[in-house]
Amino acid sequence: MPIIETKNLTYTYGEGTPFRKTAVDDANVSIEQGEFIGVIGHTGSGKSTFIQQLNGLLRPTSGTVLLNGKDIWAEPKKIRSVRFQVGMVFQYPEHQLFEETVLKDISFGPGNMGLDKDEILKRARWAADFVGLSDELLEKSPFELSGGEKRRAAIAGVIAMDPEVLILDEPTAGLDPRGRDVLLSQIVSYHEVRHNTILLVSHSMEDIARTADRVLVMNSGKVAMFDKTEKVFARDAELETMGLRVPQITKIMAVLKAKGYPVTTVLTIEQALRQLMPLLERGSRKHG
């Protein structure tokens, strides 16, 4: 049974007004437990509206969201408990930091779950350690942290709730290249350790290529593609018509393939090197 499934999911802003706009249109998606899903789409494609329905932040205009087979809106008064199971990290989550200390901020989510103090502290410290925040930083005000540290503190506050599904909306936005790489590797490590389900929304095709098992492509409110990562990025011409680009290395290899070289679709530089090195060595021997 899928951990999350959407059936004919539709969300319309401004229903009954001249400004009516359907942001998500009849989306049918099935996600298995433990998958790492990349979510891509141009600005205005509907991807943010789609993910905000998965944990009940937005209630569908029509259609359903199933969590472990149950409609999350079957009992509206219990929607808050859904948000403990489907954790959401918003873009620039550090703007939501507000407590006196970093530790208190990370403890806020688990505290709302009704856990005892020992369990709350245990979870908060585990989450802080996982994202690389030292004990020394935990006693500081969140506003004394660097940009990358604030981002990690905000993410720790969500993973401290140990959600079954973790949704991250542009988690690396605004970080420098090193900060992006560190945060992304921590997200991947978290997935490997917890074996939970992750949805990563990103404009970085390289980040999606490096991490995702499957990719969901949103376009004009509709699910345009949902397939294994290499199969989605192999459709580079279609993606470009949607205003999306494949990773640079994927594009380079596609050009080589079109010119007749015996290469296949790749997602990373490492994969490309494994295919190109034997060809280069063969060429070197031939001309040696």
- 206 & 81 share domain: yes
- 22 & 121 share domain: yes
- 101 & 179 share domain: yes
- 262 & 231 share domain: no
CATH number at residue 59: 3.40.50.300
What is residue 264's predicted lDDT score, i.e. its pLDDT?
86
Whether the CB-CB separation of 277 and 265 falls below 8 Å is answered with no
- 65 & 81 share domain: yes
Q: What is the DSSP letter of 165?
A: E
* Segments of the chain with pLDDT less than 70: 283-288
Residue 287's domain spans which residues? 247-288
Interstrand relation of 62-67 and 4-13 (parallel, antiparallel or unpaired): antiparallel
**Strands in 14-139 per DSSP E:** 21-31, 36-40, 62-67, 70-71, 86-89
- 154 & 46 share domain: yes
Task: Tokens for 131, please give them.
Answer: 């994202």
- 64 & 150 share domain: yes
d(CA 106, CA 158): 8
pTM for the whole thing?
0.89
Q: What is the dihedral of CA 194, 198, 204, 210, to 10 degrees?
A: 50
Locate all alpha helices (DSSP H) within the chain, ordered by sequence.
47-54, 79-85, 102-111, 117-130, 135-138, 147-159, 177-194, 205-211, 229-233, 236-241, 248-258, 269-287
**How many domains are there within the chain?**
2
Task: Tokens for 204, please give them.
Answer: 């970085």
Whether the CB-CB separation of 207 and 28 falls below 8 Å is answered with no
- 121 & 261 share domain: no
What is residue 266's predicted lDDT score, i.e. its pLDDT?
87
What is residue 49's predicted lDDT score, i.e. its pLDDT?
96
Q: What is the DSSP letter of 214?
A: E
- 53 & 116 share domain: yes
- 172 & 262 share domain: no
What is residue 229's predicted lDDT score, i.e. its pLDDT?
95
What is residue 246's predicted lDDT score, i.e. its pLDDT?
86
- 42 & 160 share domain: yes
What is residue 286's predicted lDDT score, i.e. its pLDDT?
66
- 147 & 211 share domain: yes
